[in-house]
Amino acid sequence: MFTDLRILLVDTGRVWWRLLPVVMAIYLLGWLGSELTLRLAVIAGDLSPWLTLILFAFHFVCILSATV
């Protein structure tokens, strides 16, 4: 049983380490998209409330897609 547990932990660590740059890049892109759309929504607040609403909603989409 301990051999199976060790194999599971080693394989999981190896896969996690190999996918870490991809996961970090996706999270970084989600964060960057979130920050940019939030700043654009603040600027667009003076122009159009509907555009602001769309940008603010896209802010949450960026956060959720990066998280999931």
Per-residue tens of pLDDT for the chain, all 68 residues? 888 899 899 999 999 999 999 999 999 999 999 999 999 999 998 888 999 999 999 999 999 988 88
The first and second tokens of residue 53, run together, are 């609403």
Overall number of domains in the chain: 1
Q: Is residue 57 part of a domain?
A: yes
Considering the domain boundaries, does residue 30 fall inside one? Answer: yes
Q: Is 27 inside a domain boundary?
A: yes
Amino acid at 17: W
Give the Å distances, CA to CA, from 25 to 28, 31, 40, 50, 67: 5, 10, 22, 31, 12
Question: What is the DSSP-derived secondary structure letter of residue 1?
Answer: -
11 inside domain: no
User: pTM, whole model, 2 decimals?
Assistant: 0.72
Helix orientation angle between 2-44 and 49-67, rounded to the nearest 10 degrees: 170
Q: Is residue 24 part of a domain?
A: yes
Domain span at residue 48 reads 20-67
> Is 51 part of a structural domain of the chain?
yes
Q: Is residue 1 included in any domain, yes or no?
A: no
